[in-house]
């Protein structure tokens, strides 16, 4: 395709027909031999969390525990009036087994509570004052759906896993102001636009923070389209049902074109690295431990059936193979209870799937959402994941190519800020099964994914996930001009170069949201 013509945000001609319109165009963009494709969508991310990482101590770049402590100390000295020090997100591989000690933080911040989130957002590291404020002692039992990591004598170490334990502390942390959160959404969606993204599935929204999203849209602070997934709490989902409907109605009433809210998020388990992903067989390095399921089976079926009957889309976090099976069983039960409709259930992450469950995705019409940047042998994988899973299960992680070959729709996401938000990094990893830092290194076991299919999973298939395939996701006449300009064509680039391809421009319905080289836009009639 040599040209695309756009009028009033809609693609009106492509190829030679678009070229013929060039003499009458108001604006021409010379792509200089680059690649123009449908803009990327992110099928699973957390932009508010990502934007808020800029607010606290900058611990993500730290490469050792001493570096984290130095940054916390710097922040404490620079903000003496802050009651709490809250930051994200540290590398869990920097301490043995991902377990961090409260006493280390006490050395640099003994006089006020500290809470730091790990990169996985399923784990936090706190100091002794935070433990004291939360009332967590040696006598505190592990809460439902949570884990308190302990020293040999039973006292809490300072590492808490999963919401049941984390919420014991976060319930005492003051909320950010709405101004701070709107600014965080603006920064995050601007970063997405710079990466070629025009639509984001925010995969964890509390109804209490809905006003932030509406205000951000009204103030023009959103630089991408965004769909909200409200989190269903296994402890109080029945009480949440009317709130979900009211929140959806509030978004509809706001009539903001960039904002929608038609999805409910279910966390079925945690993560493999902290032994909280729900596994069919016990962890290889922890006999008898099969993880931490978040939902009782019948309660999950009832909750999912209830929100499905209200017209919401299901978006299910499932990492362990037992959680994946529970999610599939739940969707099967929802179909049997509520009957056929165009529901497009999404299951996200899917790190471990047993071979017998692979065909069920197609049978049940499930969209498989993967975060492809995870499919690499980085330190998290080699130091934490492999020992947990053992050789056999480690050899069949993130079966992207396998599940796509079975006829299942595969969409891609980033899970940012868990991992980087840039789609080209994920596409490059899907194609090579190696990380961007070492694209010619040893690949993670599993089928490689074709670059054309990977581009499709980050654009057309995400549009399908969003029920928007009739209006965007391809460069065809009549579609919205959500497009991305890359410096080179990924389809003709060497596989190991794909991750490094630069985004030069992004347009949302024909409006530029990012343009790296402004002098290539020639204003005026040509």
Residues 123 and 208 in one domain: no
- 412 falls within a domain: yes
Whether residue 49 is predicted with pLDDT greater than 70 in this model: the reply is yes
Domain end marker among 417, 447, 465: 465
How does residue 517 score in pLDDT terms, banded at 50, 70 and 90? confident
Q: Which band of pLDDT confidence, cut at 50, 70 and 90, is reported for residue 1?
A: confident
Q: Can you tell me the mean pLDDT for 29-52?
A: 96
Closest CA to 197 of 366, 360, 423, 359: 423
Same domain, 215 and 151: no
**Residue 157 and residue 184 in one domain:** no
Measuring CA to CA, which residue among 156, 56, 161, 184 is closest to residue 114? 56
Q: Are residues 365 and 239 in the same domain?
A: yes
Structure confidence by residue, pLDDT tens digits, 276-318: 999 999 999 999 999 999 999 999 999 999 999 999 999 999 9
Q: Is the pLDDT of residue 189 over 50?
A: yes
Q: Are residues 187 and 161 in the same domain?
A: no
Residue 374 lies in a domain: yes
Q: Per-residue pLDDT for 359 more than 60?
A: yes
Position 496 in a domain: no
Band of residue 497 on the pLDDT scale cut at 50, 70, 90? very high
Specify the pTM.
0.96
The answer on 223 and 106 residing in a single domain is no
Q: Examine residue 500 and state whether it is found in any structural domain, yes or no.
A: no
> Which of 465, 481, 516 is the C-terminal boundary of a domain?
465
Domain with residue 341: its CATH number is 3.20.20.140
Q: How far is Cα 282 from Cα 467, in angstroms, rounded to an integer?
A: 38
- pLDDT tops 80 at residue 62: yes
Sequence-distant contacts of 137-145: CB under 8 A, at least 24 apart: 140/168, 143/168, 144/235, 145/234, 145/235, 145/292, 145/294
- Domain holding 231, by residue range, is 178-465
CATH number at residue 155: 3.10.310.70
- Residue of 341, 277, 350 lying closest to 309 (CA atoms): 341
Residue 475 maps to a domain: no
User: What tokens were used for 488?
Assistant: 């080179």
The pLDDT assigned to 438 comes to 87
Q: Please report, for the chain, how many H helices and E strands are present, in that order.
A: 18, 21
Average pLDDT of 497-519? 92
Residues 77 and 207 in one domain: no
Per-residue confidence band for 72, with pLDDT thresholds at 50, 70 and 90:
very high
- Name the domain count of the chain: 2
pLDDT at res. 526: 32
Residue 387 has pLDDT above 90, yes or no: yes
Which residue among 410, 440, 465 closes a domain? Answer: 465
Please provide the size of the chain in residues. 526
Q: For residue 518, what pLDDT is reported?
A: 60
Average pLDDT value for the chain: 96
Q: Is residue 512 part of a domain?
A: no
**Would residue 112 count as lying in a domain?**
yes
Range in 27-31, 135-139, 493-497, 505-509 the model is least confident about: 27-31
pLDDT at 381 over 50: yes
Mean pLDDT for the stretch of residues 509-515: 97
Is the pLDDT confidence value at 335 over 80? yes
Mind listing the pLDDT tens digit for each residue in 423-449? 999 999 999 999 998 888 899 999 999
Residues 87 and 199 placed together within one structural domain of the fold: no
Q: Are residues 125 and 254 in the same domain?
A: no
151 and 194 share a domain? no
Three-state secondary structure of 139-179: CCCCCCCCEEEECCCCCEEEEEEHHHHHHHHHCCCCCCCHH
144/206 same-domain check: no
pLDDT mean over 140-156? 96
What does the alpha-carbon distance between residue 74 and residue 421 come to, in Å, rounded to a whole number? 27
Q: Is 80 exceeded by the pLDDT of residue 386?
A: yes
The residues near 356 (Cβ < 8 Å, ≥ 6 apart) are none
pLDDT at 519: 44
Residue 332 to residue 302: CA distance in whole angstroms? 12
Residue 521 pLDDT? 45
**What pLDDT does residue 76 have?**
96
In a domain, 111, yes or no: yes
Please indicate, yes or no, whether residues 112 and 221 belong to a single structural domain of this protein.
no
How many C-alpha atoms does 523 have within 13 Å on its Cβ side? 2
């Amino acid at each position: 395709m040599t040209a695309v013509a756009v009028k009033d945000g809609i693609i009106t001609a492509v190829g030679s027909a678009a070229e013929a319109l060039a003499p009458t165009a108001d604006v021409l963009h010379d792509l200089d031999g680059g690649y123009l494709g449908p803009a990327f969508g992110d099928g699973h991310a957390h932009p508010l969390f990502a934007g808020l990482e800029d607010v606290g101590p900058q611990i993500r770049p730290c490469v050792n525990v001493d570096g984290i402590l130095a940054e916390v100390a710097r922040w404490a000295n620079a903000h003496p009036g802050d009651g709490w020090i809250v930051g994200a997100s540290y590398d869990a591989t920097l301490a043995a087994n991902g377990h961090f000690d409260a006493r280390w933080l006490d050395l640099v911040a003994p006089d006020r509570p500290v809470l730091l989130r790990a990169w996985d957002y399923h784990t936090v590291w706190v100091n002794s004052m935070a433990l004291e404020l939360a009332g967590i002692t040696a006598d505190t039992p592990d809460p439902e759906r949570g884990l308190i990591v302990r020293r040999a004598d039973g006292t809490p170490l300072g590492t808490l896993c999963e919401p049941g334990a984390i919420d014991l502390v976060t319930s005492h942390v003051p909320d950010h102001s709405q101004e701070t959160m709107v600014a965080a959404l603006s920064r995050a969606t601007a970063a997405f636009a710079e990466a070629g993204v025009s639509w984001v599935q925010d995969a964890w929204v509390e109804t209490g923070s809905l006003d932030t999203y509406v205000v951000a849209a009204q103030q023009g602070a959103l630089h991408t389209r965004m769909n909200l997934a409200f989190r269903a709490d296994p402890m109080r989902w029945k009480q949440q049902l009317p709130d979900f409907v009211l929140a959806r109605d509030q978004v509809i009433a706001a009539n903001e074109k960039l904002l929608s809210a038609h999805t409910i998020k279910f966390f079925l388990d945690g993560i493999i690295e902290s032994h909280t992903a729900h596994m069919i067989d016990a962890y290889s390095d922890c006999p008898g431990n099969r993880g931490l399921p978040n939902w009782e089976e019948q309660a999950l079926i009832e909750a999912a059936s209830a929100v499905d009957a209200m017209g919401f889309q299901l978006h299910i976090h499932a990492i362990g193979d037992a959680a994946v099976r529970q999610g599939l069983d739940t969707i099967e039960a929802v179909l049997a209870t509520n009957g056929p409709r165009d529901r497009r259930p999404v299951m996200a992450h899917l790190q471990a799937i047993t071979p017998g469950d692979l065909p069920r995705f197609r049978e049940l019409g499930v969209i498989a959402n993967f975060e492809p940047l995870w499919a690499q042998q980085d330190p998290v994988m080699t130091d934490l994941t492999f020992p947990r899973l053992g050789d056999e299960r480690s050899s069949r992680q993130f079966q992207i190519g396998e599940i796509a070959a079975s006829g299942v729709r595969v969409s891609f996401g980033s899970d940012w800020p868990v991992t980087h938000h840039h789609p080209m990094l994920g596409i490059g990893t899907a194609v090579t099964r190696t990380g961007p830092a070492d694209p010619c290194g040893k690949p993670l076991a599993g089928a490689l994914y074709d670059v054309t299919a990977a581009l499709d999973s980050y654009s057309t298939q995400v549009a399908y996930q969003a029920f928007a395939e009739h209006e965007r996701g391809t460069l065809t006449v009549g579609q919205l001009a959500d497009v991305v300009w890359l410096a080179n064509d990924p389809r003709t680039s060497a596989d190991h170069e794909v991750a490094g391809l630069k985004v030069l421009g992004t347009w949302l319905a024909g409006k530029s949201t990012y343009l790296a080289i402004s002098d290539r836009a020639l204003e005026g009639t040509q």
